[in-house]
A and B are shown apart, each in its own frame.
Chain A
Amino acid sequence: GQNIDQPTEMTATEGAIVQINCTYQTSGFNGLFWYQQHAGEAPTFLSYNVLDGLEEKGRFSSFLSRSKGYSYLLLKELQMKDSASYLCAVMDSNYQLIWGAGTKLIIKP
């Protein structure tokens, strides 16, 4: 079966750095996505990785290791508005997105 695993919840302090991990087992791989979803709102796109390595975009970075079936999202200089759920999704060999359950990130002052 296909599976995406993420921690259910994480807590971090404003101004700090947090790393949200995602491991996956899918039938084929055509890229890994990270989305941000604030409570009661739609997911919004953060990043896309298809090759191994680190992609940096402002305060957010995403890393991929295809051989390990592993990715992480790194958030720096945390702000209160970063409190949200972070969804990891993998596109499989049929070009379908398989979604993790999301990691709820709580930022404390």
Chain B
Amino acid sequence: NAGVTQTPKFRILKIGQSMTLQCAQDMNHNYMYWYRQDPGMGLKLIYYSVGAGITDKGEVPNGYNVSRSTTEDFPLRLELAAPSQTSVYFCASGSSELNTEAFFGQGTRLTVV
């Protein structure tokens, strides 16, 4: 099993550009999450999904969008990138609501200049 696969690993964007961070999991998990992690800060939830076709906002959703057309994929869309979106982004998945173990992708380091 590959687990949770995120692409790309690194990206530099110019202000105002858009991009999609890809996330795929092969563990048949219903729950998927997008977090951002800023230096010295805890993980902040951007969006999450409890199953295909269902998404909901987390703590810091502004400037992002998601979709969940299949169980496996949960892409994160950045529209009109801003320097404040410079961060490390992690996708994670879990098999139950209690999230007894979340599996994380390797992260995407995004810089907006």
Q: Report the Cα distance A33→B90, complex, angstroms.
A: 17
User: Is the Cβ of B105 less than 8 Å from the Cβ of A48?
Assistant: no
User: B-side binding surface: helix, strand, loop or mixed?
Assistant: loop
- Residues on A with C-beta less than 8 A from B107 are 41-42
Contact of A97 among B99, B103, B105, B106 (CB under 8 A): B99
Tell me if B2 counts as interface (CB < 8 A to partner A).
Answer: no
Binds A, one of B40-48, B62-70, B77-85: B40-48
Contact of B98 among A8, A31, A41 (CB under 8 A): A31
Q: Report the Cα distance A87→B100, complex, angstroms.
A: 15
Tell me if B51 counts as interface (CB < 8 A to partner A).
Answer: no
Please give the residue numbers on chain B whose beta carbons come within 8 Å of chain A beta carbons, in ascending order: 35, 40-45, 48, 58-59, 90, 97-107
- List 14 additional contacts besides A33-B99, A96-B59; criterion CB under 8 Å: A4-B42, A41-B107, A42-B105, A42-B106, A42-B107, A43-B90, A44-B104, A45-B102, A87-B42, A95-B98, A99-B42, A99-B43, A99-B44, A100-B42
Please give the residue numbers on chain A whose beta carbons come within 8 Å of chain B beta carbons, in ascending order: 4, 8, 30-31, 33, 41-45, 48, 87, 89, 91, 95-102
Which 10 A-B residue pairings sit nearest by Cβ, starting from the closest?
Answer: A99-B42, A42-B104, A99-B43, A45-B101, A101-B42, A95-B97, A42-B106, A100-B42, A43-B104, A48-B100
